[in-house]
Amino acid sequence: MRLHRNDNDIIHDILQAETSHLAFRELIEKYQQPLYWHIRKILLDHDDTDDVLQNTFIKVWNSLTEFKQQSKLYTWLYRIATNEALTFLRNKNKRTFFNIDDLSAEWNVRLESDSYFNGDEAELALQKAILTLPEKQRIVFNMRYYDEIPYEDMA
């Protein structure tokens, strides 16, 4: 397999029985890191992000035949990842009730102590400000600013 194949070729090979597993592995290698960081910006916790990322790829595998290619593959993947992350948060919030100020303080502590975060003071201040946004606005901001997804693809 060639590196950096286009998404349509990867999808085609996934839908072929004899190449499906190898092509799906290629899709994972191509999108694992960007999806990880997209989910991570929503959940903030590394372990939760890993769980949701795994669920995302399971859902992709199970529903790839439903992908109609009316949108770009990465848009479809980001939508699934976003929905999985939001579902995770809803389920987590059903089990745990937080005061919003306590939750914001917890997010700030997680951000400051995160070994995966190596930003300078300005980046840390930006991340803290982003955490104060409502959930949907925070997700849209992250998708546009960090993932550079065009607004049309987010819609």
> What are 24-55's pLDDT values in tens digits?
999 999 999 999 999 998 888 899 999 999 99
Cα of 85 vs its chain's centroid, Å: 7
Domain spans, the chain? 7-154
- Tell me the mean pLDDT in the region 6-27: 94
What topology does CATH give the domain 7-154? Rna Polymerase Sigma Factor; Chain: A (1.10.1740)
Query: What does the radius of gyration of the chain's CA atoms come to, in whole angstroms?
Result: 17
Q: Quick one: which of 80, 82, 74 has its CA closest to 7?
A: 74
CB atoms under 10 Å from CB of 143, counted, come to 21
- Tell me the mean pLDDT in the region 3-32: 92
Quote the tokens at residue 57: 């790829």
With a pLDDT cut of 70, the percent of the chain lying above it is 72
> What are 109-122's pLDDT values in tens digits?
666 666 565 556 66
> What are 102-111's pLDDT values in tens digits?
556 666 666 6
Alpha carbons 144 and 130: distance in angstroms, whole number: 13
Alpha carbons 62 and 10: distance in angstroms, whole number: 16
**3-class DSSP state of 31:** helix
What pLDDT score was predicted for residue 144?
Answer: 76
CB atoms under 10 Å from CB of 112, counted, come to 11
What pLDDT score was predicted for residue 37?
Answer: 93
What pLDDT score was predicted for residue 101?
Answer: 56
For residue 1, is pLDDT > 50?
no
What pLDDT score was predicted for residue 57?
Answer: 98
Average pLDDT, the chain: 81
Amino acid present at 86:
L
Q: Quick one: which of 154, 155, 152, 148 has its CA closest to 34?
A: 148
- Tell me the mean pLDDT in the region 135-154: 74
The helix or strand, by DSSP H or E, that contains position 21, with its residue range, turns out to be helix 20-43
Phi, psi of 146 (to 5 degrees): -90, -45
Can you list the alpha helix ranges (DSSP code H) found in 44-150?
46-63, 73-95, 100-113, 121-131, 135-145
> What are 78-111's pLDDT values in tens digits?
999 999 999 998 887 665 555 555 556 666 666 6
Query: What is the pTM for the complete model shown?
Result: 0.67
- Cα pseudo-dihedral 96, 130, 42, 82, rounded to 10: 120
